[in-house]
Structure 1
Amino acid sequence: MHNLEGTMVEIGRVIHQRYLLQRLIQQGQACIVYQGLDQVLQRAVTIKVVPAQHISEYRTAIQLTSQFNHPNIVGIYDLIVEPDVLYIVQEYVDGRNFSALLQTQLSAFEVADLGVQVCRALLYAGTVARKVCHGDLTPASLLRDNRGLVRINNFAMPSDLNYFAAWNVLGGDGQVASDRELPWGQLSEGRRADDIRALGLLLYQLLCGKSPGTMVVEPPPDGRLRFMRNTPPELCNVVARSIVCQHPQRIVTADVLYTELKVIADALEPPPPTVVLTPLRQTDSFAPPQYKLAGANSGQLVNAMPGHDTTGLGAGYGTNSGLLEAPPAAATVADLSASMANAPQGAYAAAHISGALPEPASRPNLLLLFLLGLGLFGLFFAIGYYLSQMIFAH
């Protein structure tokens, strides 16, 4: 590893009068990574500080990938060049790195889905219009955000030759990296196969038997593949075919690996949680209990709310209960309002007939009131006339 102590930047420094360094994330082989804040757009960013000896390779990688726009690839926001250092401002991914994923007991579905997402990124970069390989698909290049979206970093960077040399014991052919005479990031058949093998190694590290809390998986000394118990054999087979160079059915392209992993992921995907909506029972309504007479002359009141059903026929239908059939619980005001709002006029009239709605109060008989008033007027007139005759007669 190169000595990057001279590249360390103090926390709190503002780069280019815009990007505030907030905390150190990690120190890699060729750069130091910080979390920062874009003070103009007020968003979290990742800032890579690259020393002078690595500026050329990073600038080449950025030229190849600056136009990438894919949900599984970490985006590049800005590039700041100073005389002896390069600052790369990238999208900040809030989630887990590969070491954290190793400590998590991922399901077989999650591992297969992770592989599917990485294949999508490789397919995007390897189109005819781009022709870019990853070249350095190591644990340091993979993140998974808090929504489960896999994000790939470090496209077109030089291969970590020490990492791939160590893992060559597991199904390798003695060749650490293909086509090393080509510029880094330039796609070739050999490099396409190298990316697939690198992805297979990542999937194997997530599936192999390891002790709890493991943050780094070392290559097996005997070069044998060992998967965890209960790992689906189909998934083991696909991972082995992507790793073992001598396998008669070796997988060397992203489209083939994507197709096979997608079939496995679809078969293993757990069903979405189902929400069971329990209908409101009559006893759950907030209408007051309704009562009616049990017999014509008994005077006994019987609760019309449904009782316990022991016959399987429904509440109120006991064969030997001796009680009258219990009517359904009265509808609440909300129930009637909702039903009447959407009902036609005929239904509203029918509701009156059936008793669901109260009948409006009877209008008073105006003719009867008029005759009664006329009679009272004649009575008072006769009494007044009789009294006046008596007074004036004396």
Structure 2
Amino acid sequence: MQNLEGLMVETGRVIQRRYLLQHLVKQGQVCVVYQGFDQVLQRIVAIKVVPAEQVSTYRAALRLTSQFSHPNIIGVYDVIPESDGLYIVQEHVEGEDFAALLLSQPTIYQIADMGRQICQALMYANTSSRKVCHGDLTPSSILRDRRGAIRVSNFALPSDLTYFNGWSVVGGDGVALADSETPWGQMSELRLADDTRSIGILLYQLLSGRPQGATSVEPPSDGRLRFHRNVPPELCDIVARALIRQHPQRFETPDALYAELKAIADALEPYEPVTSFKSEDVMKPHQMLPTGGTGKLSAASVMVSQERAQSGLLSHYRPDAGLAVSDAPGRVAEATSSDPQLVNPSFPDQAYGYTPMAQSAPRRVNMPVLIVAGLLLFALFFVIGYFLAQMFLH
């Protein structure tokens, strides 16, 4: 990590007679970030101070991303060159960084939804009109705002090779990046695959068994995946397919990973009671309410889970193992089940903590009973009518 002392700016300074530096937010590996105030538009901003030797790199990244506008991407407002470096004025996001997310222990639904949102940001950047890859999707690139939206930053910057080298032991075949030749930010098939794997690494850190109070997750020295006990094997499989380069059903694009994460996030989405109904709100026959726990799982999702288990897509998770451990497709390591932080996946249905709702059989109408009841009612009304007639005639 380079010395950032030279980047420290006195708070209270006004840049370009507009942006007031209020206080230091964080020191990164390359830049220093301050909270500032835009005195023209009267709003809080984030101001990133880039050292002179990195200006050309950041200018190249900004040229690729200057037109980005997406709810999952942190926006750039202004770029100010100064003699001591570059000042990048960005959208200010109140929320949690990745370390805070680890501490907050988000639910399985929230983690799947976070992965889906990260995919959305990358898919936006990957469109044919932009063709931009991230390249440096590490914990420092992720924030979650107060509304629960994931915000991604640092697009098109050089990769943190220390970080990716460390995680290359986990399903990476010892290779940090599949594409280190394409210029930073530019798209290639291998660069897309690297970004997709980066999402898998982030999700694994959130889902892994870790000590209470941990603010970071180190790559396991033996390269095997260990998930928390509450993680559904279905989601374990999705993360493994993103992480393990040799997996036969490996995800190679954010689009493919997004489709799977969206399906599981939709299935786990917490049920909220409806206070008023419209005709279109009535559940269709295939829709199902949650059967317990903190989420809901549709019948279709249960069927998909069963099909995957039967087809061998979950082959690297053993039903009788003490935890979900995987270092390559089809390979499983035994472990003791005494560690409370590690998972004990088993499948099919009950493996995921959900049981499909049993549909009650349609009720049959007992015709003989119905006929007898009709005759009794007829006799009763006949008797009442007879007595009434006798009374009025006399």
Q: When the two structures are superposed, what TM-score results if normalisation uses the length of structure 2?
A: 0.69
RMSD value, Cα: 1.3
Query: Match of 1:169, SS?
Result: coil
The answer to whether residue 188 in structure 2 is matched with residue 188 in structure 1 is yes
Q: Deviations over 1:172-200 (max 9, x none)?
A: 12221233222110000010000000000
Q: Deviations over 1:133-168 (max 9, x none)?
A: 000000000000000010000000000000000011
The separation in 1 between residues aligned to 2:224 and 2:15, in whole angstroms, is 48
Give the letter for the 2:23 counterpart: R
Give the letter for the 2:167 counterpart: W
- Provide the residue aligned with 2:177 in structure 1: 177
- Provide the residue aligned with 1:218 in structure 2: 218
The separation in 2 between residues aligned to 1:65 and 1:142, in whole angstroms, is 17
The separation in 2 between residues aligned to 1:273 and 1:106, in whole angstroms, is 22
- Provide the residue aligned with 1:153 in structure 2: 153
The answer to whether residue 271 in structure 2 is matched with residue 261 in structure 1 is no
- Provide the residue aligned with 2:109 in structure 1: 109
The separation in 2 between residues aligned to 1:209 and 1:179, in whole angstroms, is 30
Deviation, structure 1 residue 275:
5.1
- Provide the residue aligned with 2:369 in structure 1: none
The separation in 2 between residues aligned to 1:2 and 1:35, in whole angstroms, is 22
Instruction: Assess if the C-alpha contact under 8 Å between 2:98 and 2:140 holds in 1.
Output: yes
Query: Match of 2:205, SS?
Result: helix
The separation in 2 between residues aligned to 1:13 and 1:193, in whole angstroms, is 43
- Provide the residue aligned with 1:369 in structure 2: none
The separation in 2 between residues aligned to 1:178 and 1:248, in whole angstroms, is 17
Query: Match of 2:224, SS?
Result: coil
- Provide the residue aligned with 2:2 in structure 1: 2
- Provide the residue aligned with 2:81 in structure 1: 81
Query: Match of 1:125, SS?
Result: helix
Instruction: Assess if the C-alpha contact under 8 Å between 2:95 and 2:144 holds in 1.
Output: yes
Give the letter for the 2:57 counterpart: E
The separation in 2 between residues aligned to 1:53 and 1:187, in whole angstroms, is 25
Give the letter for the 1:182 counterpart: T
Give the letter for the 1:131 counterpart: K
The separation in 1 between residues aligned to 2:70 and 2:212, in whole angstroms, is 34
The separation in 2 between residues aligned to 1:235 and 1:256, in whole angstroms, is 14
Unmatched segments (≥5 aa) in structure 2:
277-394
Deviation, structure 1 residue 123:
0.6
- Provide the residue aligned with 1:289 in structure 2: none
Instruction: Assess if the C-alpha contact under 8 Å between 2:170 and 2:224 holds in 1.
Output: yes
Give the letter for the 1:209 counterpart: G
Query: Match of 2:56, SS?
Result: helix
The separation in 2 between residues aligned to 1:250 and 1:160, in whole angstroms, is 23
The separation in 2 between residues aligned to 1:7 and 1:273, in whole angstroms, is 52
The separation in 2 between residues aligned to 1:175 and 1:168, in whole angstroms, is 5
Percent identity at matched positions?
63
- Provide the residue aligned with 1:17 in structure 2: 17
**Structure with more relative contact order (C-alpha pairs < 8 Å, separation 6 or more):** 2
The separation in 1 between residues aligned to 2:243 and 2:22, in whole angstroms, is 40
The separation in 2 between residues aligned to 1:164 and 1:147, in whole angstroms, is 30
The separation in 2 between residues aligned to 1:138 and 1:44, in whole angstroms, is 25
Deviation, structure 1 residue 29:
1.1
- Provide the residue aligned with 2:308 in structure 1: none
Q: 1:246 to 1:62 in 2, by over 3 A?
A: same
Q: When the two structures are superposed, what TM-score results if normalisation uses the length of structure 1?
A: 0.69
- Provide the residue aligned with 2:330 in structure 1: none
The separation in 2 between residues aligned to 1:109 and 1:265, in whole angstroms, is 6
1:1-394 equivalent positions in 2, closer than 5 A: 1-274=1-274
Instruction: Assess if the C-alpha contact under 8 Å between 2:179 and 2:194 holds in 1.
Output: no
Q: Deviations over 1:47-76 (max 9, x none)?
A: 000011111110100000000010000000
Q: Deviations over 1:344-380 (max 9, x none)?
A: xxxxxxxxxxxxxxxxxxxxxxxxxxxxxxxxxxxxx
The separation in 1 between residues aligned to 2:99 and 2:179, in whole angstroms, is 30
Query: Match of 1:218, SS?
Result: coil
Deviation, structure 1 residue 22:
1.0
Query: Match of 2:197, SS?
Result: helix
Query: Match of 1:143, SS?
Result: strand
Unmatched segments (≥5 aa) in structure 1:
277-394
Deviation, structure 1 residue 273:
4.3
The separation in 2 between residues aligned to 1:210 and 1:275, in whole angstroms, is 40
Deviation, structure 1 residue 30:
1.1
- Flag the structure with larger Rg: 1
The separation in 2 between residues aligned to 1:272 and 1:246, in whole angstroms, is 40
The separation in 2 between residues aligned to 1:154 and 1:273, in whole angstroms, is 39
The separation in 2 between residues aligned to 1:15 and 1:213, in whole angstroms, is 39
